[in-house]
């Protein structure tokens, strides 16, 4: 087949079942975009307004379906604008294919428009290399069938991740005589299965445990191992706690659910995890937020607690904590094997156990703690009240997207998810700007479900322009903006760890007055349905009307901005270094000695 480089890519995207290519054309990707145009009855082209948003949109689509999209960019700034999106996808282990224009091969190093070449020729791609699972640079069009096959293999097998293919302009345009491989023949069909002996050892430990806990990370969500997780939890009578990325993997109304652990977690999740005798961690990397900066006995007490660590990536096992049993496997395959081994023994009457009663009591205590810090009558409304009202307005199967600031922390602490896969968040990178474009991707993937983004004003303003994308393509997402006129989670941090007099550069002000444009009006100008509210009793009605509008909608909620009503206190520990001259406040210095790293 005689095809240009661009045509090879477009045809292989069609073969891979990629329904959308998201990107911004430029001189650096003309031939590629022309080839996509030829396939436009099979791949729709979506024009976002920022390349990072293109990646977030594709990322949201993948998180909702397991199907990667392609994002495309021009050379130079277009390509480099993908950096935050790629890093978000890489840290959270999600698959996105980024096709970035590069300098023509025969012009490497001359300084073509938008080439970075002072330290090495055509060096733009080097900036992206640490931010993706694999980078390919195609130097000839005939390499592309193989590169594309390898890119899909890298994205989708083992630990998923984003892949970047650098496409010099002449390679996109050059014709090659090629065969296009069947992608299925270029990757393994079954996920990595666990070692039988290790599974047996893990099952023995869990069976003998008095206080078993399962710590659920993003790997469980990525592998869609929801049924298998439930089977293991019930067979072992284990409490289930989660990381930020594991949120939504287990139904919040299940008696064994113990909420989140970690620095922004819950008293319930922390208590269960630190007093476990056996802890099974699945698809989790023990990041500092989960581990309360590794302070011994705060989130975890290894090795007194015996750790079974199940992960697709062998390098995560033993990275931060010593294990009793390390199992390398896909979370679904690993949990299925464990469930089978546990179900062969005597069933546990977990529902009537003292342990289950203790979990219930810890959850009530946590609810009471939240209630103490919440004033439902307050105006402007507290985020805590707003979240409860949003939950009440949404069906169980609604997909909720969130990304940073107090809303993200409070979602972890107090927003119950019931159906698997209904929580989409950037847990590892906590990227401001993710929610809006990712929600568009999620809604494109799941048009049958309500899709709601919950976001702070700072986060929303980072990619507010993508309201245009939602409107142009008629994607009826609902974005709830908690507007506290500033980066108030960071102001809260300044206040909590340094003191109120150290608040700096976190309020939005003009001439000493609090400042915010009316975000609902801006959304209206974009063509969205929008409303502006400030009381808790207005939230449910606003959400219902936004959903009923069947248009992209923005509900701007003015929320409390006075400390401490801005959020719910963090109950875990976080190692935030305090300036050396602030002696009385440097609790973290003492705690460093108690950290396990």
Ligand X SMILES: Cc1ncc(C[n+]2csc(CCOP(=O)(O)OP(=O)(O)O)c2C)c(N)n1
- Check residue 82 for interaction with ligand X (CB under 6 A): no
Least distance to ligand X, CB of residue 382, Å: 12
CB of 519 to ligand X, least distance (A): 11
484 binds ligand X (CB under 6 A): yes
How near is the Cβ of 461 to ligand X at its closest, in Å?
Answer: 8
Considering only 167, 281, 432, 477, the residue that binds ligand X (CB under 6 A) is: 432
Tell me how far apart the alpha carbons of residues 497 and 586 are, in angstroms, rounded to a whole number.
9
478 preceded by cis ω (within 30°)? no
Which residues are CB-contacts of 19 (< 8 A; sequence separation ≥ 6)? 43, 44, 67, 69
Instruction: Render 69-89 in DSSP notation, one character per residue.
Output: -EEEE-STHHHHTTHHHHHHH
The region, left, alpha or beta by phi > 0 then psi within -120 to 50, assigned to residue 509 is beta
Taking alpha carbons only, the member of 496, 439, 433 closest to residue 465 is 433
DSSP single-letter state for residue 14: H
Q: Is 431 in the site for ligand X (CB under 6 A)?
A: yes
Backbone φ/ψ region at 317: left (φ over 0), alpha (ψ -120 to 50), beta: beta
For ligand X, the binding residue among 334, 405, 427, 437 (CB under 6 A) is: 405
SS3 240: strand
- Nearest-approach distance from CB 493 to ligand X, in angstroms: 9
Give the Cα separation of 400 and 8 in Å (integer): 37
CB closer to ligand X out of 127 and 196: 127
DSSP states of 369-413: HHHHT--TT-SSBPHHHHHHHHHHHS-TT-EEEE-SHHHHHHHHH
C-beta of 177: minimal distance to ligand X in Å? 45
Quick check: 248 binds ligand X (CB under 6 A)?
no
By CB under 6 A, name the one of 172, 430, 469, 494 that touches ligand X.
430
Cis check for the bond before 328: say yes or no (omega within 30 of 0): no
CA distance 407 to 410: 5
3-state per-residue secondary structure call for 174-219: CEEECCCCCHHHHCCCCCCCCCHHHHHHHHHHHHHCCCEEEEECHH
How is residue 499 written in tokens?
């003191």
404 binds ligand X (CB under 6 A): yes
Is residue 406 within the footprint of ligand X (CB under 6 A)?
yes
Of 266 and 435, nearer to ligand X (C-beta) is 435
Span interacting with ligand X, options 159-167, 190-198, 350-358, 488-496, rule CB under 6 A: 488-496
Distance CA 332, CA 224 (A): 7
Cβ proximity to ligand X, 81 vs 431, nearer residue: 431
Question: Minimum Å distance from CB 296 to ligand X?
Answer: 27
For position 497 contacting ligand X by CB under 6 A, the verdict is no
Gap between the Cα atoms of 80 and 204, Å rounded: 50
Nearer to ligand X, 180 or 493 (CB): 493
Task: Indicate left, alpha or beta for 155 from its phi (over 0: left) and psi (-120 to 50: alpha).
Answer: alpha
Which listed residue (302, 487, 529, 573) binds ligand X by CB under 6 A? 487
Per CB under 6 A, the list member of 489, 495, 538, 568 interacting with ligand X is 489
Shortest Cβ 69–ligand X spacing (Å) = 22
Q: What gap in Å lies between CA 206 and CA 208, rounded to an integer? A: 5
The minimum distance between CB 459 and ligand X, in angstroms, equals 3
- Of 56 and 274, CB closest to ligand X: 56
Residue from 458, 476, 552, 572 in contact with ligand X (CB under 6 A):
458
User: Closest distance between ligand X and the C-beta of residue 72, in Å?
Assistant: 23
Q: Given the structure tokens 């990304």, which residue do they identify?
A: 403
Residue nearest to ligand X (CB): 456
In 3D, which of 167, 544, 232, 282 has the Cα closest to residue 393?
Answer: 544
Minimum Å gap between C-beta 404 and ligand X is 4
- Between residues 4 and 568, which has the closer beta carbon with respect to ligand X? 568
Contact call for residue 565 and ligand X (CB under 6 A): no
Q: Which residue among 39, 114, 385, 407 contacts ligand X (CB under 6 A)?
A: 407
For 28, the enclosing helix (H) or strand (E) is: none
Smallest distance from ligand X to CB 456, Å: 2
Return the number of other C-beta atoms located less than 10 Å from residue 66's C-beta: 16
Q: For residues 311 and 414, which CB has a smaller minimum distance to ligand X in the complex?
A: 414
* Residue closer to ligand X (CB basis): 214 or 436: 436
Query: With respect to ligand X, which residue has the nearer C-beta, 137 or 432?
Result: 432
C-alpha separations of 129 from 87, 90, 125, 163, 590 in Å: 10, 11, 6, 9, 38
Spatial contact of 416 and 252, defined as CB atoms under 8 Å apart: yes
Q: Does 81 bind ligand X (CB under 6 A)?
A: no
Q: Which of 228, 289, 457, 556 is in the footprint of ligand X by CB under 6 A?
A: 457
As a whole number of Å, the end-to-end CA separation of the chain is 56
Find the binding residues for ligand X in span 275-314 (CB under 6 A): none
Using the rule CB under 6 A, give the single segment among 37-45, 67-75, 389-397, 452-460 that binds ligand X: 452-460
Q: What track of x and - describes contact with ligand X for positions 125 through 154 (by CB under 6 A)?
A: ------------------------------
Asked if 427 is part of the footprint of ligand X (rule: CB under 6 A), the reply reads no
Judged by the rule CB under 6 A, the positions of this chain that interact with ligand X are: 404-407, 430-433, 456-459, 484, 486-490
């Amino acid at each position: 087949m005689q095809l240009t480089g661009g045509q090879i890519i477009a045809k292989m995207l069609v073969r891979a079942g990629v329904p959308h290519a998201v990107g911004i054309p430029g001189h650096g990707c003309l031939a590629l975009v022309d080839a996509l145009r030829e396939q436009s009855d099979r791949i729709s082209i979506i024009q976002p307004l920022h390349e990072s948003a293109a990646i977030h949109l594709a990322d949201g689509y993948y998180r909702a379906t397991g199907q990667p999209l392609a994002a495309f960019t021009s050379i130079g700034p277009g390509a480099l604008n993908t950096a935050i999106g790629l890093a978000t996808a890489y840290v959270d282990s999600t698959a996105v294919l980024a096709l970035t224009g590069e300098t023509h091969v025969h012009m490497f190093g001359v300084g073509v428009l938008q080439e970075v070449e002072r330290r090495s020729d055509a060096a733009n791609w080097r900036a992206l290399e640490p931010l993706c699972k694999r980078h390919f640079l195609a130097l000839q069009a005939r390499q592309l069938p193989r590169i594309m096959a390898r890119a899909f293999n890298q994205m989708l097998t083992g630990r998923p991740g984003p892949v970047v293919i650098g496409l010099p302009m002449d390679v996109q345009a050059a014709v090659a005589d090629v065969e296009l491989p069947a992608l299925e023949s270029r990757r393994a069909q079954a996920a990595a299965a666990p070692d039988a002996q290790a599974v047996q050892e893990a099952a023995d430990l869990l069976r003998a445990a008095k206080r078993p806990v399962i710590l659920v990370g993003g790997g469980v969500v990525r592998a869609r191992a929801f049924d298998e997780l439930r089977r293991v939890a019930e067979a072992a009578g284990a409490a289930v706690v989660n990381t930020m990325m594991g949120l939504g993997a287990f139904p919040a109304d299940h008696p064994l659910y113990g909420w989140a652990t970690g620095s922004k977690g819950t008293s319930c999740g922390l208590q269960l995890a630190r007093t476990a005798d056996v802890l099974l961690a699945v698809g989790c990397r023990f990041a500092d937020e989960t581990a309360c900066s590794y302070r011994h006995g705060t989130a975890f007490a290894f090795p007194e607690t015996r750790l079974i660590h199940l992960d697709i990536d062998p390098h995560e096992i033993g990275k931060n904590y010593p294990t009793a049993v390390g199992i390398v496997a896909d979370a679904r395959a690993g949990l299925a094997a464990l469930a089978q081994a546990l179900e062969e023994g005597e069933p546990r009457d977990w529902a009537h156990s003292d342990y289950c009663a203790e979990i219930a009591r810890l959850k009530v205590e946590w609810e009471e703690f939240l209630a103490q810090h919440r004033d439902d009558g307050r105006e402007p409304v507290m985020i805590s009240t707003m979240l409860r009202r949003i939950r009440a307005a949404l069906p169980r199967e609604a997909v909720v997207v969130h990304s940073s600031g107090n809303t993200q922390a409070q979602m972890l602490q107090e927003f119950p998810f019931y159906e698997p896969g209904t929580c989409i968040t950037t847990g590892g990178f906590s990227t401001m700007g993710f929610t809006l474009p990712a929600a568009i991707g999620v809604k494109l993937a799941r048009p049958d479900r309500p899709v709601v983004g919950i976001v702070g004003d700072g986060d929303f303003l980072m990619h507010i322009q993508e309201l245009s994308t939602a409107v142009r393509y008629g994607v009826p997402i609902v974005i709830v903006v908690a507007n506290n006129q500033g980066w108030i989670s960071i102001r809260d941090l300044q206040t909590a760890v340094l003191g109120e007099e150290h608040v700096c550069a976190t309020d939005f002000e003009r001439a000493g007055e609090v400042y915010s444009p009316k975000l609902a009006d801006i959304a209206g100008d974009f063509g969205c349905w929008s409303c502006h509210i400030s009381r808790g009793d207005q939230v449910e009605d606003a959400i219902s009307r936004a959903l009923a509008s069947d248009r992209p909608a923005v509900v701007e909620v003015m929320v409390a901005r006075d400390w401490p009503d801005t959020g719910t206190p963090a109950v875990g520990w976080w190692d935030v270094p305090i300036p050396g001259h602030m002696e009385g406040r440097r609790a973290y210095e003492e705690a460093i000695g108690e950290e396990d790293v």
